[in-house]
Amino acid sequence: MRGLYLDCFSGISGDMLLGALVDLGVEAGYLRSQLRKLPLTGYRLSASRVTRARLRGTKVDVEIAARRAPQRGIREIRAVVERSRLSPTVRERAMAAFNALVDAEARVHRVPRERVHLHEAGATDAIVDIVGAMIGLERLGWPRVVCSPLHVGRGMVTMEHGTFPVPGPATAELLKGKPCYATHVEGELVTPTGAALAVTLASDFGPLPSMRLQKVGYGAGSRQFDGHPNLLRALYGDLLDDGAIRETVLVLETTIDDMNPQLYGHLMDRLFAAGALEVFYTPIQMKKNRPGTLATVICPEAVLEEVTSVIFRETTTIGFRYLPMGRIEMGRRTETVRTPYGPVRMKVSCHGGEVMQATPEYEDCRRAALTAGVPLKEVQRIAAALFPRMSGNLQGAGRGAARGGRRARPGRPRRAGARRRR
């Protein structure tokens, strides 16, 4: 599994994460081309090499044409993100970060989330930072992100509503339950945008996990400190421990007996767009002998508000129940096999350093089948047969195939063997 470790020895902000991703090899031109898919204008993104305390890094700047950036609430931000032509995963993960920000602000100011307007974080540059970070991570293949304890800084910071202690109120709210610390360094090192990205992206906080390093990138902040490099270090490579991933999710349930069945397909699409991990329906018998449907949704806690909004807007229910539940899943990575019909990505699931199963990516197989004019199941079968031969570590399933000396050819495939900026 690919891994990305965020070493926040000088904190984290949205532009620092963007700079680190560019330093790792995500092209600034690619970011600009993808960001043009947003219905957003009036800014210019640039990247340059800079030095911070004798260490070189990449500084990403978002220059805004307007003197004063507009204030935006969650509805306006959602409209910008969802009207884009970006991938569903980029849109979902960007909205998860914005939802975390809005929920934190709502708790700090004791107001409903719909009344929260993000000033600095709702500005154009912050939308570019958050969406750009998701674009960069997608470019890297969505590695598993692990974050170090967060160096938050100390002192006071001046914001829209006045001067507050570091970390700022929204940042402190976001970092509840996360490891953080301060040293002699004065200033705000973790911005609300950086905190939202860290808590929504990181699967864990702690020391550097066992990994085979491939690249190291440095994203620079704007400020210079004497003897202290104002950089975010990103270490990218292969995680050596493909053990099970343990996390806590929310399980939501509601029973419905008065809704048009045509709406359930649309409901499922909207729930996945809101960040749900799983959605399924179970036929049940309800009161007065009415046939009904038990709708079950599994989602991270960070997207609870979004999922709640979809349930109340798109169904006839007046409420639902939910509870936290532990979840364990195998470590995963993506590998590519070269088939006679073109490259096919394989979703590889691992545990304890062993490959447990490998499944061809459906869309890759479908595209290859349509291009070559062959059955979809034929492409899937050949991709599955070639993977053990390529990797040599699929337990049991690949031993017979690995002995084959000829490459499978179209028409005569070999049979698989029985085996805020600062």
* Alpha carbon distances (Å) from 243 to 200, 387, 397: 21, 21, 21
End-to-end alpha carbon distance in the chain: 32
pLDDT tens for the chain, residues 1 to 422: 789 999 999 999 999 999 999 999 999 999 999 999 999 888 899 999 999 988 999 999 988 876 665 677 888 899 999 999 999 889 999 999 999 988 888 888 888 877 777 665 557 888 999 999 999 999 998 998 999 999 999 998 877 667 889 998 899 999 998 999 999 899 999 999 999 999 999 988 989 988 889 999 999 999 998 878 999 999 999 887 656 677 789 999 999 999 999 999 999 999 998 889 999 999 999 998 999 999 999 998 878 988 999 999 999 999 999 999 988 888 777 788 899 999 998 988 887 667 888 999 999 999 999 999 999 999 999 999 998 755 444 333 333 333 333 333 444 443 333 335 56
Nearest to 335 by CA among 378, 400, 398, 419: 398
Q: Is the CB of residue 60 less than 8 Å from the CB of residue 18?
A: yes
175, 177, 178, 181: CA torsion to nearest 10: 80
Q: Which amino acid is at 135?
A: I
Structural domains in the chain, sorted by start: 2-239 (no CATH), 245-329 (3.30.70.1380), 332-402 (3.10.20.300)
- The residue among 73, 70, 170 whose CA lies nearest residue 114 is 73
pLDDT at site 119 = 60
User: What is the value of pTM for the model shown?
Assistant: 0.63
pLDDT at residue number 417: 37
Distances from the Cα of 335 to the Cαs of 87, 180, 349, 360, 377, in angstroms? 20, 35, 11, 10, 20
User: pLDDT for 216-270, tens place per residue?
Assistant: 999 999 999 887 899 999 999 988 765 667 778 999 999 999 999 999 999 999 9
- Residue 347 has what pLDDT? 87
Residue 329, token pair as written in the block: 């899943």
Q: Are 67 and 53 in contact (CB under 8 A)?
A: no
Q: Give the residue ranges of DSSP H helices in 296-375.
A: 304-314, 362-372
Peptide bond before 167: cis, by omega within 30 degrees of 0?
Answer: yes
Say which DSSP state 121 is in: T
Q: Tell me what percent of the chain is helix, strand and coil, each rounded to the nearest 5.
A: 35, 35, 30
Handedness of CA 285, 290, 292, 294 (dihedral sign): negative
Distances (CA, A) of 229 to 59, 204, 219: 13, 25, 10
Q: Answer yes or no: are the C-beta atoms of 208 and 5 closer than 8 Å.
A: yes
Helix (H, G, I), strand (E, B) or coil at 79: helix
Comparing C-alpha atoms, which of 129, 127, 99, 119 is closest to residue 13? 129
Return the structure tokens found at 154.
């100390």
Share of the chain above pLDDT 70, in %: 87
CB 248 within 8 A of CB 323: no
Q: What's the pLDDT score for residue 376? A: 96
- Within 193-316, strands assigned E span 202-205, 211-220, 231-239, 245-256, 278-285, 291-299
As a whole number of angstroms, the distance between CA 166 and CA 168 comes to 5
